[in-house]
Structure 1
Amino acid sequence: MKFNYLLLGITIITLSSFSKENAEEKYTRKVDIVLQSSDGEKLIAKSDCIGCHKMDKKLIGPSYLEIANKYAANEKNISYLSNKIIKGGSGVWGSIPMGAHASMKKDEAKTIAKYILSLKK
C-alpha cells in the first residue's frame, strides 16, 4: 500500500513538472491588468462626475457610453467635450444643465474626454 502511495506521489510530481504555464507569471499578469486604469478613469474618480454619470446607464446626465456613441473620437470633439466639461451647459442631452467645472485644467478635461470617447463600441 505504501508503495502505491509513493508511486502515485512520484507520478503527480512528474506530471506537474511538465506543465507549460508558469503559475507565478500567469497570476502576475492578471494582477497587472486589474491594477491598470487610465488617467481619464482616475480623473473621473477624483471629480464629481460620478454623481451624474454612470458607465452604461443614464443617471442625471447621459452615460459615458451614450456620449462615446454620439461623438466620433477626433480632436474637434475632444476639444468640444473638454470645453463642455469646464464651462458646463445644457440642451444637448435635455433640459437639465451640467454644472461647470471651472477649477479643472484644460488638459485634465481633455484626458477625460479622450477616455470617454475611447469607450465607443
Structure 2
Amino acid sequence: MKRKSQAKNKTATLAAALAISALGALTFGAAPARAQDAPTGLALAQQQNCMSCHSVTRTFMGPPLRDIAAKYAGKPEAQTYLTHKILEGSSGVWGTVPMPANTQLNPGQAATLANWILTLK
C-alpha cells in the first residue's frame, strides 16, 4: 500500500507543479513565444472572449490569429506591440472594425496571449 500512496503523491505533486507553472505565466508575465504556451494561450483566449471576434484560421469580425502571427513574425518588438494592442485596443490596422480595449486583462495575461498568438505562424 505504501508504494501506491507514494505514486499517487508524486502524481499529485507533478500536477500541482504544472498548474502553478501555468498560473505563474498568467500572473507574472510570460517568456518569449514557445510551443508550450499554446494550451494556456488558447484557454485564456476562450475564457476572455477573444474567440468571439477572432478565429485561429478564419476571418470573422477580427483577423485570423494566424494572420496576425504571420504579419509580426520575426519583428523584434512583436510581443510588446501585440501586448499593448490587446490591452489598449486598436483601430484601422486590419480594417474598419475597431478592437476594443481589454480592460479585464492584466499585463501578464495580455503578454501570454501575445506570446501564444506569435506561436501560430
TM-score range, shorter chain: 0.5 to 0.7
Deviation at 1:73, TM superposition (A): 4.9
CA contact (8 A) 1:87 1:99 kept: yes
- Provide the secondary structure at the position in 1 that maps to 2:77: helix
Q: Does residue 48 of the first structure (1) align with residue 49 of the second (2)?
A: yes
Letter in 1 for 2:46: A
1:45, 1:83 → 2: CA distance?
19
Please give the alpha-carbon distance, in whole angstroms, between the structure 2 residues aligned to 1:53 and 1:82: 16
Equivalences for 1:68-87 in 2 at 5 Å?
Answer: 68-73=69-74, 76-87=77-88
Larger radius of gyration: 1
Q: Which moved more, 1:86-95 or 1:67-76?
A: 67-76
- The runs of at least 4 consecutive aligned structure 1 residues that moved more than 4 Å come to none
Aligned length: 85
Equivalent residue for 1:64? Answer: 65
Letter in 2 for 1:86: L
> TM-score with structure 2 length normalisation?
0.65
Distance 2:78 2:113 in 1: 12
Give the gaps of 5 or more residues in structure 2.
Answer: 1-37
**Closer, same or farther: CA 70–104 of 1 in aligned 2, 3 Å:** same
Matches within 5 A, 1:1-121: 38-73=39-74, 76-120=77-121
Gaps of 5+ in 1: 1-36
